[in-house]
């Protein structure tokens, strides 16, 4: 029987009781797993990145005696097939996949959609597209994929103020004449068919992300840099989605009044690290002000990562509370 951990801040789960691949479109098969109570309240977990993937620990925010937890690897990442495929891979495709998976699993309506970082972007996009299928929404490390977040103050500029040494290393990887547009310069290398070019660039790109994502250094996150294939997928998809294609949405689209009005009746919670330099808290505040039924929780001792203790505890708490809807 699954039981809460001794810390009381999250839960433990038995191994997945179901897993499989679902064909979506002409190219892709998405991978999913299910945890917790088979007839419980259905929740879907949307991972970040773009280019990350799920792991069994992602189920730990949800009480296994209450929730039926669905973990989904988005197109081209994790155990989804084919790996690293960018064709037919847009935000709209990912949103459509959530609907296909819901129908495939026989779920009439999600009790909760849960997403952090890029998962918050996708969660908002999906909820606005299918508000009748979303019972509640929890977002963390809020990111709207706006041009200001990607290129203006509050993006790399904010992180560079606190991590100047790491930012210098990120830029120094490139020839001096390419540093004015590092995203393009990195992308040109990452998509090279020569692994001797693409893999070092992917690791350097990922190092910048992984070293700035937590308030205190996290050895587990830094350890991901030892996996060049993980770094390649992570950097490839971040560049494809965010810097090359603007997340395939209009600038500011998710905050358009007509779109926020679509989720005005959906209850939910926003959990945000106070010292998140990757997705600064001002964005979470803007979403909260535009979303009448949201509560907002700033975690005073956290940066961006969901794994930080204060953030993990608050996410578990709000999921426990929303189980009572």
Q: What positions carry a catalytic annotation?
A: 117, 276, 304
- Helices 195-211 and 182-190: crossing angle in degrees, nearest 10, is 130
Buried b (16+ CB within 10 A) or exposed e, 129-167: bbeebbbbbbbbbbbbbbeebbeeebbbebbbeebeebb
Going from the C-alpha of 92 to that of each of 50, 88, 96, 294, the distances in angstroms are 13, 9, 6, 24
319 neighbors 292 (Cβ within 8 angstroms): no
Lookup: tokens for 317: 């708490």
Q: What is the DSSP letter of 226?
A: G
C-alpha 251: how far from chain center:
19
């Amino acid at each position: 029987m699954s039981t809460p951990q001794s810390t009381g801040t999250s839960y433990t789960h038995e191994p997945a009781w179901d897993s499989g691949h679902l064909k979506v479109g002409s190219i892709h098969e998405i991978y999913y797993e299910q945890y917790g109570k088979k007839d419980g309240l259905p929740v879907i977990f949307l991972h970040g990145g773009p280019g990350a993937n799920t792991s069994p620990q992602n189920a730990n925010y949800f009480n296994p005696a209450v929730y039926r937890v669905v973990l989904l690897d988005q197109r081209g990442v994790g155990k989804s097939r084919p790996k690293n495929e960018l064709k037919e891979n847009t935000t709209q495709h990912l949103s459509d996949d959530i609907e296909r998976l819901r129908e495939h699993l026989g779920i009439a309506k999600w009790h909760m959609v849960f997403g952090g970082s890029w998962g918050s972007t996708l969660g908002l996009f999906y909820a606005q597209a299918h508000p009748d299928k979303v019972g509640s929404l929890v977002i963390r490390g809020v990111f709207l994929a706006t041009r200001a977040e990607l290129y203006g103050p509050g993006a790399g500029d904010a992180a560079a103020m606190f991590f100047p040494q790491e930012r210098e290393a990120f830029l120094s990887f490139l020839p001096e004449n390419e540093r004015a547009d590092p995203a393009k310069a990195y992308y040109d290398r990452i998509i090279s068919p020569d692994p001797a070019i693409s893999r070092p660039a992917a690791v350097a790109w990922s190092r910048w992300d992984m070293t700035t994502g937590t308030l205190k250094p996290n050895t587990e996150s830094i350890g991901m840099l030892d996996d060049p294939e993980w770094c390649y997928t992570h950097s490839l998809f971040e560049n494809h989605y965010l810097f090359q294609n603007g997340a395939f949405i209009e600038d500011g689209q998710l905050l358009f009044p007509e779109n926020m009005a679509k989720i005005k009746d959906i209850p939910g919670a926003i959990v945000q690290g106070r010292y998140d330099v990757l997705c600064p808290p001002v964005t979470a505040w803007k979403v909260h002000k535009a979303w009448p039924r949201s509560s907002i929780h700033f975690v005073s001792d956290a940066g961006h990562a969901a794994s930080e203790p204060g953030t993990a505890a608050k996410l578990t708490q709000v999921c426990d509370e929303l189980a009572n809807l």
